[in-house]
Amino acid sequence: MKKLENINSRRLGIAAVEMALCLPFILAILFGILEFYRLTQIKNLFNNAAREGCRYASQKFILDGNGQKIGITIINVQDRVQAILRNTFLNLSGEGVFENLTISFTTFQSNGNQPRSTSLSPSQLIKNDIYQIDISLNYKYVKFLNFDFGFLNPLVITGSARMICTANKELDQFNFTMPSPGD
């Protein structure tokens, strides 16, 4: 009987050593999966915020308290995108996040290839102008764990959206044409 007890205690010792050797690798894989999930989640968040910024810019005008039309500026769009990012369930309020967040607004010619302007206000868009909002932030400001993965620090997370202006600037109205079901 003593021989059987001795073998069982050796097996427990071997299992403990195997666990001590395997646990760091298992934890590294688990934390790597969590970081990749965080990166994917923030990329989707940036894309959604850029899309909402484009939608906001497409309005071209907002009404003030007196009912007067005020043209939307690039600053308005950037503030809107930052507000959307602040109101998410993700913790993007860490130190340096919004100071290092880059939001750019670019207008393209109707062919979509050549940038026309980076300072054109959304209220100055004309029909068929293409505009794009790009958001970028360095990974070190949004990492999930405090552990520094070093090789990921130069990584920049980006999001972008592009829309076509369908508003007639002269008429201040939108051109909604839908194809008939037979087309």
Residue 180 lies in a domain: no
Q: Give the confidence band of 22 by pLDDT, cuts at 50, 70, 90.
A: very high
Q: Residue 156 and residue 93: Cα distance in Å, rounded?
A: 17
Stated as kind and residue range, the H or E segment containing 57 is: helix 2-57
How high is the mean pLDDT of the chain? 76
Residue 6 lies in a domain: yes
> Mean pLDDT across the stretch 27-39?
84
Q: Is 0.85 topped by the overall pTM?
A: no
What pLDDT shows up at residue 183?
Answer: 46
Residue 179 lies in a domain: no
**Exposed/middle/buried for 2, CB within 10 Å: 0-12, 13-18, 19+?**
exposed
Q: What angle do CA 29, 33, 37 make, to 5 degrees?
A: 170
Biggest distance spanned by C-alpha atoms of the chain:
98
Number of folded domains in the chain? 1
The string of pLDDT tens digits covering residues 4-21 is 566 566 676 788 888 899
Give 104's contacts (C-beta < 8 A, 6+ positions apart): 118, 133, 134
Amino acid sitting at position 76: N
Residue 105 lies in a domain: yes
Tokens of 10: 């050796």
> Mean pLDDT across the stretch 130-141?
84
The string of pLDDT tens digits covering residues 43-95 is 899 999 999 988 888 877 777 777 777 788 888 888 888 888 888 766 665 56
Residue 183 lies in a domain: no
| Tokens 């026309």, residue located | 116
Residue 182 lies in a domain: no
Q: Calculate the alpha carbon distances from 53 to 60, 65, 116, 120, 144 in Å.
A: 12, 22, 19, 15, 26
What pLDDT shows up at residue 174?
Answer: 47
Residue 23 lies in a domain: yes
Residue 154 lies in a domain: yes
Structural domain of residue 27, as residue ranges?
Answer: 2-174
State yes or no: pLDDT of 160 exceeds 80: yes
Q: Residue 75 and residue 71: Cα distance in Å, rounded?
A: 11
Q: Give the confidence band of 171 by pLDDT, cuts at 50, 70, 90.
A: very low
Give 80's contacts (C-beta < 8 A, 6+ positions apart): 52, 53, 56
